[in-house]
Amino acid sequence: MLKAANGPMALSLVAGVVGPPEARLSAPAVEEPIDAEDYTRPILLGYVHRGLILTDGQMETAKQELVAFAQTEGFSMGFTYVEQPGTWPAAFAALIDAVNRYGVTAVVLPSLLHFAVFGVPTNIRDAFERATGARVLAARREP
């Protein structure tokens, strides 16, 4: 979950970049593990409509695909908003709020079909992009 600028995320970001004074002066360069969080990459938020996913296993697979897409495209994967059947547009509204609040430049969906509950997916994508300034990306290409 993203926190305000003075929250834990900001502290870990600053500590990760600056480090304690003794580390800045005398620590030798250390190679970071490959899976370490890279705070220089822009954050990518995800959106999934749970009504299109049948099982919990498929849900986990969809989330893993979004993470893999983020890494491949040079993003750091943030929170994935999951729209539960019967609650829409709660997750969608939270996604818009997060994009606007944190200046996120892109969001990813497994496919544009996850916007279909709101109307024609391409129209929803275009309206979302105009309203937020963030690009909508699809992890899978449409057939």
Q: Is residue 120 part of a domain?
A: yes
Q: How many distinct structural domains can be found in the chain?
A: 1
Task: Scan for tokens 């969906």, then name that residue.
Answer: 109
- pTM, two decimals, is 0.71
* Contact status, residue 78 vs residue 134, Cβ threshold 8 Å: no
Token pair for 63: 């989330």
Full residue range of the structural domain in which residue 67 is found: 38-138
Confidence category of residue 128, pLDDT binned at 50, 70, 90: very high
Tens of pLDDT, residues 54-106: 899 999 999 999 999 999 999 999 999 999 988 879 999 999 999 999 999 99
pLDDT in tens, 19-36: 444 443 344 443 444 455
**pLDDT of res. 36:** 54
Q: What angle do CA 124, 83, 132 make, to 5 degrees?
A: 40
Burial class (CB in 10 A: 0-12, 13-18, 19+), 104: buried
Query: What local confidence, expressed as pLDDT, does residue 143 receive?
Result: 53
- 122 secondary structure, DSSP code: H
Q: Could you report the per-residue pLDDT of 10-21, keeping only the tens digit for each?
A: 333 333 333 444
Grouping H, G, I as helix, E, B as strand and the rest as coil, residue 71 is helix
Confidence grade of residue 37 (pLDDT, cut at 50, 70, 90): low
Burial 65-102 (b: 16+ CB within 10 A, else e): bbbebbbeeebebbbbbbbeeeeeeebbeebbebbeeb
* 51 within domain boundaries: yes
Exposed / middle / buried, residue 40 (Cβ in 10 Å: 0-12, 13-18, 19+): exposed
Domain assignment present for 21: no
In a domain, 8, yes or no: no
Query: Could you tell me if residue 12 is inside a domain?
Result: no
23 domain residue, yes or no? no
**C-alpha 117: how far from chain center:** 20
> Can you give the CATH number for the domain in which 65 is found?
3.40.50.2300
- Is position 55 within any domain? yes
44 located within any domain: yes
